[in-house]
Amino acid sequence: MSRLSHLDERGRARMVDVTDKPATARLAIAEGQIRCQAATLALVKEGRAPKGSVVQTAELAGVMAAKRTAELIPLCHPLPLTGIDVTITLNDQTPGLDVQAEVRTSGQTGVEMEALTAVSVACLTLFDMLKAVDRTMVVEGIRVTAKSGGRTGDWSQGGAIS
């Protein structure tokens, strides 16, 4: 096993020095889901959720969260994000809401943490806005599904990288 890059030679935590890495176009896509009762999803679909427009609010919360990732995750680099798209889709089959975040930058390190943070906070916002009508909701499946750029190149869990 190779040495962890976030530890110095004495085992102390440090932010990785990316000074000598070339800046490249970076993309990360993450997803997550919130499962709920069918009646809860119906309230969202009909625009009758007690706290208002939950989907639009959660999408905005996800964008805002991606921009604050370095303040939340220790040793995470602050990045100039060039694009953030958080999309929430209602899913009658599960039932629930599917959340996807796509984050872009041109820089020396990737944006996987920003995409994961966007999805996590969007899911938490949905939970907060709907908990009064459904305490059985479950947040699940938060993961990176694709990334591109950098030394390790492109990677995807079965989907096309846009």
Q: Would 152 be classed as within a structural domain?
A: no
In order of 79, 136, 160, the CA distances from 110 in angstroms are 9, 35, 18
Q: Does residue 1 belong to any structural domain of this protein?
A: no
List pLDDT tens digits, range 63-99: 999 999 999 999 999 999 999 999 999 999 999 999 9
Burial of residue 133, with CB atoms counted within 10 A of its CB: 0-12 exposed, 13-18 middle, 19 or more buried: middle
Helix axes 54-67 and 112-130, enclosed angle (nearest 10) = 150
SS3 133: coil
- Active centre residues (catalytic): 128
**Is 12 within the bounds of a domain?**
no
The whole domain housing 31 covers 24-147
**Residue 9's pLDDT is what?**
79
Please report, for residues 42, 109, 138, the alpha-carbon distance to residue 32 in angstroms, rounded to integers and kept in the order given.
20, 23, 11
- Please check whether residue 110 lies inside any domain of the structure: yes
Task: Decide if 54 is inside a domain.
Answer: yes
Provide the total of helices (H) and of strands (E) in the chain, helices listed first: 4, 5
**In the structure, what pLDDT confidence band is assigned to residue 17 with cuts at 50, 70 and 90?**
confident
Q: Would 7 be classed as within a structural domain?
A: no
- Asked whether residue 11 is domain-assigned, the answer is no
Residue with tokens 């370095």: 70
CATH number of the domain encompassing residue 106: 3.30.70.640
Kindly state the average pLDDT of the residues 3-18.
77
Helix (H) or strand (E) holding 71: helix 69-72
Q: What is the pTM of this model?
A: 0.91
Closest to 54 (Cα-Cα) out of 143, 145, 137: 137
Cα radius of gyration (the chain): 18
- Nearest-angstrom CA–CA distance, 106 and 103: 11
pLDDT tens string 142-159: 999 999 998 888 999 975
Residue 19 belongs to some domain of the structure: no
Q: What pLDDT shows up at residue 16?
A: 85
Q: Which letter does DSSP use for residue 139 in this model?
A: E
Number of domains in the chain: 1
What is residue 151's predicted lDDT score, i.e. its pLDDT? Answer: 84
